[in-house]
């Protein structure tokens, strides 16, 4: 019988709210040695995820988009909207300002193989596991899948 997401996910993951201070999220990630946290609204519905990658903006800062002047016009070589978004991430003080919206998710009935394929295809390190109401009931990481594979080898 193939393992399902429910079999191998971490249950009741720590979640944060969009209004949570960024420092609080950083502290949780560091103390628990985890790389990402689901972000939920007041009804516990998933609205985003905050990860180490999102937080790297805090440290690296942002470089303005390159541009050239041509006949008194500014021509951006990169999208200024991206710069605005990156700047917002670099200066954000709450989880909601820095989190990634619309994270890739999975349901508990999917197989571990389907989860692994989704993570690989979408290049994500973790999948919030949602129930039929859209509430976070678990989180599945690449490590969970590797541990399940190892357990299959042993058993």
Residues 6 or more apart whose Cβ sits within 8 Å of residue 11 = 137, 138
- Tell me: pLDDT of 1 over 80: no
pLDDT band at 53 (very low <50, low <70, confident <90, very high): confident
State how many domains the chain has.
1
> Range of 52's domain?
5-154
Comparing CA positions, the residue from 91, 87, 134, 140 lying closest to residue 114 is: 140
Comparing CA positions, the residue from 30, 29, 1, 3 lying closest to residue 14 is: 29
Which domain CATH number covers 88? 3.10.580.10
- pLDDT tens digits, residue range 103-142? 999 999 999 999 999 999 999 989 999 999 999 999 999 9
- pLDDT tens digits, residue range 33-43? 888 999 999 99
């Amino acid at each position: 019988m193939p393992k399902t997401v429910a079999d191998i996910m971490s249950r009741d993951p720590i979640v944060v709210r969009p209004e949570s201070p960024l420092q609080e999220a950083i502290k949780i990630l560091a103390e628990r040695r985890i790389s990402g946290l689901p972000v939920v609204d007041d009804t516990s519905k998933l609205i985003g995820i905050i990860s180490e990658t999102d937080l790297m903006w805090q440290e690296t800062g942002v470089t303005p988009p390159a541009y050239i002047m041509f006949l008194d016009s500014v021509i951006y070589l990169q999208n200024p909207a991206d710069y605005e978004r990156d700047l917002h991430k670099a200066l954000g003080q709450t989880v909601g300002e820095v989190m990634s919206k619309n994270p890739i998710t999975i349901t508990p009935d999917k197989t571990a193989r389907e989860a692994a394929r989704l993570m690989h295809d979408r290049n994500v390190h973790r999948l919030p596991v949602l129930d039929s109401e859209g509430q976070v009931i678990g989180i599945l990481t690449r490590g969970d899948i590797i541990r399940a594979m190892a357990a299959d080898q042993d058993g």
